[in-house]
Every structure is written in C-alpha cells, then in structure tokens.
Structure 1
Amino acid sequence: MEVEDAMTDSVINLIHEVELNIFKQFRQLTSTLNINYIALGGTLLGAIRHQGFIPWDDDMDVGIPREDYERLLDLAPNILKNTHYFLQTPWSDSNYALSYAKLLDRNTFIEERNNVNNARKGIFLDIFPLDKIPASKERQRRQILDLRRLDSRIYLKLRYNIIDNPIRKFQNPLSPEQLQTAWEYKRQRQDTMTQFNKRPNLTVYKNLASQYAYDKELFTEDQLTNLIDLPFADTTIVAPADYDEILTNIYGDYMTLPPENARTEKHITRLIMDNQEFMV
C-alpha cells in the first residue's frame, strides 16, 4: 500500500508540474490581453493554505468576468496556434459538452473518473466565466433549473457517460445534424448564463458552472476588482483581497485539513505523456 501511495503521489506531482506550466501559459495570455482573472475554489484554498496545490488535488480553477472571458476565447487561439496548448470551448471542440473553457496541454492524454466522452483530452486548467445573477430567489432558481436542463440535453446528445460502454467504440460518429442540435442547445445555455449581465443594478456575480451549492461561489464587484498576488508553488497567482470571506463561505474553517479519508479530490485516473502511461 505504501508503494502504491508513493507511486500515486509521484504521478500527482507530475500532473502538478504540467498544470503549473499550463497556468503560466494562461497567465501570459491574460497579461498580453490585459485580462483580469482570479483563483477559484480549491486553487484559491491551495494558495492560502499550502502556498500552492492542495497536495491531493489534480486540477486548477480560475475565473474571469464574462466580457473578458469572451475576449480571451476570441483572441487566445491565434496566440496559441504555434504552441502545444489548445483552448477547448463548447465552440472549438464540437464534442465538448461543458459550459466553460479548458486550456489543454496537447502533449498529454488523460482519462477522468466518471467522465467518458469523445471530447479532446489532456491535462488542463479550468477557466470559468463569471456572470451576474438576479436578486430574486425565484429567478435564481429558474435560471439554474434551465441550465441543468440544457446541460442534460447536451450531455445526452454528445454521449457523455459515467462509465465506459464497450459498444461505444462501435457507434457511428455524430452526424452534422446531431452536432448542430447540440450547438443550438449550447447557444441557449450561454444565453441563459448571460441574460442578466447588461443590468447595471445587479452587482453579484457567480460561477454558474460551480460544483458547489448555489450560494457558495458568489462574488461582489469589489471582490472581483480588489485583487492581490499570492505565492503559488514557484510562481504567483491573482486572488481577491477578500479571500477569507470567500473561502469561509465555501468551506467554513478552511485552514483545518480534512480527515485523511476525505483527501481524494482526484479527477484524473490515467495519464499518458512522454510515451509513458501512468495510473493514478
């Protein structure tokens, strides 16, 4: 068991090294394009509690207000075209069903737990858009229900599954008509996410693709503009100066480590890079 744990730790460290390089590429993009971002969720927690990655975590999360997020999606592909990075979005990968972007290292291939699909795969950085939400609880409820309904339709149309099915490899590729239907659902989903952004009276933003409960990952305008640099591994990452309130809202007593049996927030189960295969 100790040998297995040591092997797993070494693979996680390798994943962290690749993710850190992806993040540095992302940070260069945001600097070039004069775009503000913030660390989110476990990445923000890691920066505060560990000055880097949470040791057992295997991804990085950042957020960008929608207007700058769309500018990144528009301009970054041209900057990245001669690199080994790919900006995966609902529009750049027709088989990709999620509502946010990923910056992938194309020199790697991964398989993820409970996530079987035909989208492009690689070690990644998650890039979430941050959108305004309505003040009314009923409108909030309606928006999130609409998003879940559209997510379900897209996942079904693009054949996302929890477990692999041997029959999957014998299925025909999706037809142009099926991909067009998925594209229309994606457009409806984006319209649902962005419907309140033009309302100046609304001042609360949310990561609408968040894994946390609805009221956990919310941000005020001040939290998105009053930013600081924090140490993160061998570099720095941008975070809201009011990180304590944000992390307390999500995790409660965030400086206390969880019990050992809960230190398992791993997404990646298989990694291929440098012509080697690693199981996590």
Structure 2
Amino acid sequence: MLYNKVIKDYMDDWASRSAKAECIRFKRLSQRGMMLSCTDVQINEVIAEVAEIMEFRCTDISLSDNEVKVCFYMSFAKGDMMGEVPDVLVTDIPRIAEKFRNKCAVLYTGAVFGAGFEHSAVPRPNSATVIHDVIGGMFFMACRTLKKGVYYAGFGGCSIKAKALASGGYLPVMTYEDALFMVKFQRERPDELFCFDNTYGGRLADLHKALFTCLDEFDRICRANGIKYFLGGGSLLGAVRHGGMIPWDDDMDVMMLRDDYRRFLEVVGSEIDDEKFFFQSAETDSDYHSIFTKIRLNGTVFTTRFSSRFGSSHQGIFLDIFVHDKTADIKPLQKLHVFATLFARSMVFHKWEGTPMHFYGKAKLLCRLATWYIKRTDMKKLERIQERVVTFFDRFPTHSLYDGTGEHLRHGAFPARWLKKSAEMKFGDRSYPVPAGYDKYLRYSYGDYMTLIPASLRKAGHDIVRFDLGEYGR
C-alpha cells in the first residue's frame, strides 16, 4: 500500500534527522554500543537505522557490562520492561518518571504524537509532537553522562518537575509548528508524498503557475530564434523525478552554453514582452549583481531578506538563467579555474553586500588584500574580471564544462558531450528540452538524485520577507 510507503518515508526522516543532529555525539555509543529495551516496532526500526548510519551496536541482548542501557517505557508499551535500572529511561508516564527520578537519567517526553504511529492522537502544546524529539533526545542523553533526574523533551509546559533538555544543549530537530503540520498532513492526506506545501500562505501551487509563465516566455524567445537551452538545476530534477516541479520548490532554473547565451542576450531586449516581463542583469538593473540573470514577472513581489536591502531593484517572481562554460581538461588546471571563479564571484558579491572578503575562512591574507582592492574598485570592473575568469577557457578547444555561474561549481568539470544533444521531456503540462544525457548530469549535480531528501526538509528554500502574486494569484 502507498500508505505504508508514506509511513516508511516518515520513519526514514526520523532516523536521518536524529543521526544528523549537531548536538548529538555518537562517539560514546560507537565505543560502547547500546542495549535497548523497547516493544514498539516502529521506534525499534528507526533506532536500528540510526545505529546503522552512525555505526554502533544496538541490541536487546546484553553482550557485556559496557553498553549504554536505554529503556523505553511508554503508555503504549506491551509488557514489563523494568527488569533493571537503565542508564537512560524514556517515558511518557509521570508516575514512572517520578519512580526513577533518583535512580537514573529520565527523559520525560510528555504526550508523544507522531505521524504514522498507530497510537498517536491530537498533539498538545506540551507534547513531543513527533518521534524526532523522542529519539533525538534519547540519543542525546545516551551519548552523554547526565546526572540522575528528570529531563523534559517536548514543546511548552511540563506537567512534572523536570529540567528542560534544551538547557543542557539539546537542539530540537524540528519546530513545533512544522511537527504539527507533518502530523496533520499524514492524517488528512496519508497517500500523498509529504512536503510543506503550506508555505507562501498556502499559495505554493499558484507560485508554480506563475513560474511556468516565466518559463514559457523564455522558451518562446529561444524557440523563435533557434537558441538551444535545457531545463536545469531543480527544474531538471523535477522533470525527471516528478514529471513537473519538485513539489516544495519555489523557483525555476534553465541552463545554456555560452555561445547560445550570447545569442540570447542579442535578442532578449527586443523579443521579450516587456509589459509582462523584465530581463534582469547587471546591465538592465543597476542594483542587481548576481553572476546569473533572471526573467522577472512584472506585477508580482518575491522579496528575500537579502534582496530587500536593494529596494530599487526588480523584486518579482523569477526564472534563473545559468550558463555552462568551458574549463580545462587537465585536473590541476580545472581546480585552479574553480578556485579563481569562486574568488572572483566572491569579490563581486562582497562588493555588492558591502562586507569584507572572508572566502569561507580560508586565504585570510589574500582576503585582506582583496578587501582593500574591492573598496577602491568600481563594480563594473569587478564584474568584467569575473566574466573573464569564468569564460577564460572558452577560447580553447577543450572537451570539459563546469558550472561557472551556478551552485554546483565546486563539483568541478564534466564532459561537454553530456550537453551536446537535447531531448524533449514532460514538465508540467507540456514538454521542454533537457540534456539527452540527463542521468549523468544529474548524478554530477546531486549524486543519487532519485532518493528524496528527508520529509522534514521538504520546504521552500528562499528566506521570504514579502510575497505577492498580483493578478497571477486570482
């Protein structure tokens, strides 16, 4: 049943989030292992998956006196699990928490509700709303030597005397609001792929329609002038994996080769319907300095926290246009080209942002010199330097490309033949061009691209401060 796949999706999410929680140090468990007493099948499966990810032993049979002993004693447990005093006791029963207060470290969860758990009910403000915070809190305590007493993992008030686990450094892996939405989604739409489609005031589907309006205008210009392009980034991934936009995505990407992009620049000014759209580049918008260009939708607002600092620039809903350029065929030169590109892009960005160069905490002396230089150099010159660096190898007959204007720049070079031929693929209601070698390109960009990210991360990525669809939301 699809329902079972949805539950497995949540369970994989719980395991992934717990294993990656920054506040949990698994070194102690890797050295000692963990003995677990728990009768709940789903919790056991999640803990076993975390143990596999983080490479430590987890068993319900004592192998030595060295394991960290953890006992789940929940209101939904079957049988008596209190044969001995564990190192960590996890319970949602107040009288059990009180009984063991002076015997071990007790994790009192409050009421436990989780999407997919057959014993879950309606969440309350003082609950551990999803199993993330039960399992994450348990691992946090098992990986540390905590004093005896009762600790609380949940949201809101606690019905018994307890120390907040957060006060000891535990970082909840989800917000209460997100947890509530996950539980509600699973209950109301148990057969659907989960994502946070409540973003943008519940207008995410309308945002997608507006983005297709931008894409269709770009596609019209390119087809009318015989210019080759491909769906790129998350849009290409969405076409291949979902047959449309990634359900939680909030922007759209296309990509071109440099020669095709130059031809596009020659015609876009006269071809674009400037009543509905705006082609945004450093040349058309004096407050815009990204290395990639955009097609914006007039009459809409999509203002991020960063772009809000440049109020005179166009802030409409947008399509991103990325360019792939040639790079060297020799690996040492490829690495040098990537470094130079990162540095040139960083100079432009820090000039735009008005901050000192820091370059990911590296090359500090070089950054101080660059900071001195960019303060005394106008933006146009820095952008010319950036373009010369990115396009440096376009004059040579190389057979390698790199993502010089995009977010996969650090992935280095890939064979130019991957973008030599195109094919049509359904994306939404119609078909658009994709690379014929899309599988290899997507693996270069995303690795195992058919595997979904954890459910609780499926959320729109832009930090929006103002959003308005205008006439496109009617």
TM-score category of the 2 structures, normalised to the smaller one = 0.7 to 0.9
Match of 2:410 among 202, 209, 214: 214
SS at 2:213's partner residue?
helix
How big is the shift at 1:223?
A: 2.0
Alignment of 1:107-256 (within 5 A): 107-118=299-310, 119-159=313-353, 181-200=378-397, 202-212=398-408, 214-215=410-411, 218-256=413-451
Alignment of 1:265-276 (within 5 A): 265-267=460-462, 269=464, 270-274=466-470
Contact (CA 8 Å) 1:248, 1:254: kept in 2 or not?
yes
SS at 1:196's partner residue?
helix
Contact (CA 8 Å) 1:94, 1:179: kept in 2 or not?
no
CA distance in structure 2 between the aligned counterparts of 1:88 and 1:205, rounded to whole angstroms: 25
Q: What one-letter code is carried by the residue in structure 2 that aligns with 1:231? A: K
> Aligned residue for 2:459?
264
How big is the shift at 1:11?
A: 1.8
Q: What one-letter code is carried by the residue in structure 2 that aligns with 1:273? A: L
> Aligned residue for 2:199?
8
Instruction: Specify whether residues 141 and 265 from structure 1 end up closer, same or farther in structure 2 by C-alpha distance, changes over 3 A only.
Output: farther
Structure 1, residues 90-137: CA drift from partner, whole Å, max 9, x if none? 222122111111111121111125554423211111111110011233
Cα RMSD of the aligned pairs, angstroms, is: 2.7
Looking at CA atoms only, which structure, 1 or 2, has the larger radius of gyration?
A: 2
> Aligned residue for 1:40?
232
Instruction: Specify whether residues 267 and 95 from structure 1 end up closer, same or farther in structure 2 by C-alpha distance, changes over 3 A only.
Output: same
- Unmatched segments (≥5 aa) in structure 1: 162-177
SS at 1:58's partner residue?
coil
CA distance in structure 2 between the aligned counterparts of 1:21 and 1:249, rounded to whole angstroms: 29
Instruction: Specify whether residues 152 and 252 from structure 1 end up closer, same or farther in structure 2 by C-alpha distance, changes over 3 A only.
Output: closer
Contact (CA 8 Å) 2:197, 2:204: kept in 1 or not?
no
Structure 1, residues 11-62: CA drift from partner, whole Å, max 9, x if none? 2111111000100000001011110001112111100111000001111111
**Larger strand fraction of residues:** 1
Contact (CA 8 Å) 1:134, 1:140: kept in 2 or not?
yes
Give the TM-score normalised by structure 1.
0.83
Instruction: Specify whether residues 84 and 219 from structure 1 end up closer, same or farther in structure 2 by C-alpha distance, changes over 3 A only.
Output: farther
Contact (CA 8 Å) 2:302, 2:317: kept in 1 or not?
yes
How big is the shift at 1:6?
A: 5.6
Query: Aligned pairs, how many?
Result: 259
How big is the shift at 1:265?
A: 4.4
Contact (CA 8 Å) 1:117, 1:160: kept in 2 or not?
no
CA distance in structure 1 between the aligned counterparts of 2:401 and 2:249, rounded to whole angstroms: 26
- Unmatched segments (≥5 aa) in structure 2: 1-179, 186-195, 356-374
CA distance in structure 2 between the aligned counterparts of 1:143 and 1:79, rounded to whole angstroms: 34
Percent of aligned positions with the same letter in both sequences?
Answer: 28
